[in-house]
Structures are given as structure tokens and as C-alpha cells.
Amino acid sequence: MMNTTQKKLLFRRLRNWTIALIVLIIYIWAFTGFFQNFELKASAWTSAKAIFTGMAHPDWSYISDPDGEDLLHALLETFNIAVLGTFISALLCVPFAFWAARNMSRFRVVSSTGKVILSAIRVFPELIMALLFIKAVGLGPFAGVLALGFHSIGMLGKLFGESIEDMDFSAAEALRACGANKFQTLWFAVVPQVLPQFFSYTLYRFEISVRSASILGMVGAGGIGAPLIFALNAHKWDRVGIILLGIIVMVSIIDLISGSIRKRLV
């Protein structure tokens, strides 16, 4: 006869194997449908070979141009879009983060409302937001800044709110016991605890925003995406190669610097 502990272990094993089997069946079903509808174009390998050839023999003359239509200016515009979109949203999302934090309100419905609003803000990807803002403000980097900024409010607000929920409230309780008001408690007990996490999450979001800003130009929201899509459509593979190399270098440098700063903050 099995005791209670053995029965629990047997139940857990059966549950885990059942879950694994269901997941495996779903994967097999999904990939079966994928390969049935999969059709590789005859020009796919030719295009892939041309892109790698372009990266091996890039158009070095496109790096800098006195007229301003060059790689460096496009990368700088992409960088500026990411900076403005991220760091402005980092300031605007702070009230939403405190609103959505469960330990900042006595009533669960208040924090739940804040979480729902943040979820509604970030539900649309940056490309969709860029298309919407292009209709509102026209083509150009301003639409890209608005798209990244609006989406980042939802993402950073969620992360900031979780940081506030995870903080230690002993310092705040000590200040309240000494007669401090709500503002003093917030400024001297809450902000010093959450600020390093806020900076770390902002830098992490900035890394993602740089990648997103590289794509926004493909729909007309400024940045390196516009010359990239033009070069692809014109089959200028050497131009495509230098643009891709420029994006790789810029993103790698930003990731390296941002990662080093985040390690010192946290």
C-alpha cells in the first residue's frame, strides 16, 4: 500500500507527464500544418546569398555624405528617437506605476484599474502605434518618438509598479512613526529604494527601443529603417550590407554600455 507522500509524488509525475504530452501533441500538430503550407520561393536562396555578399562587400561610401543622406545621420536619428521615446516615457510612467502598485492603495480596485490601463497602453506594438501616429502628425521621426514613448509608458509602468510592490516598507513605517507626512515618507523612504531599479529598467527598455526604432522607419516613422527598405526594394545589396553592419555595431555598443551601467546600479 502506498502512503500519502508516495501518492502525491505519483500524482505530480502523472501531471507533469500529461502536461508534457499535451504540449508535444500541440507542437506536432502546429508544425504539421506549417510544413503543409510552407512553400519556399525559388529566389529565396538568391536573395539570402545577395544579402550576405552585400555584408561582405558593403558600400563604404554610404557611411558619410556631406548632404546628410548617409548611414551616420540615419543611425543618429534612430538613436535620438530611442532616447526621446524611452526617457520621456520613463518620467511620464511614474504616476501610473504608483497608481498600479498594490501596496500604494488600500483599495484593490484602484491598483487594478491602473494595471488595466497600463495593459491597454502596451497591448499594441510599436509598429501599429507608429502607423496611428503617422496619420495624426505625418511622416517623420516625431511619429516614431510618439510611438515608442506611448508603448514604453505601458512597459516601464508595469516594471516600475512591480519594483514598488517588491520594496521593503520598514523605512516608510519608521518615518510615519516619527510623524512624517505622506510626501516626506514617499521622498525619503520610497524613492531611494526604487530609484536604482527605475534606472536599470529604463536602460534595459532603451536597449529594446533602439532595436524598435530601427524598424519604425520601414513604415515612415524616421530612422534607419527607411533607407534599409529603400535599398532592399532597389536590390542594392552593398547598401543593405553597410546598413545592417551599422545597426549591428550601434546596438552592440549600446548594449555593452547599458549593461555595464546596469550592473553598477543594481
pLDDT digits (tens, 9 = 90+) for 157-197: 988 888 888 887 777 777 778 877 777 777 777 777 888 88
pLDDT digits (tens, 9 = 90+) for 191-223: 778 888 888 888 888 988 888 888 888 888 888
pLDDT value of residue 22: 92
Q: What is the 3-class SS of 88-146, one letter each residue?
A: HHHHHCHHHHHHHCHHHCCCHHHHHHHHHHHHHHHCCCHHHHHHHHHHHHCCCHHHHHH
pTM over 0.85: no
Burial class of residue 199 in the structure, from the number of CB atoms within 10 Å of its CB (0-12 exposed, 13-18 middle, 19+ buried)? middle
State the Cα–Cα distance between residues 149 and 236, nearest whole angstrom.
32
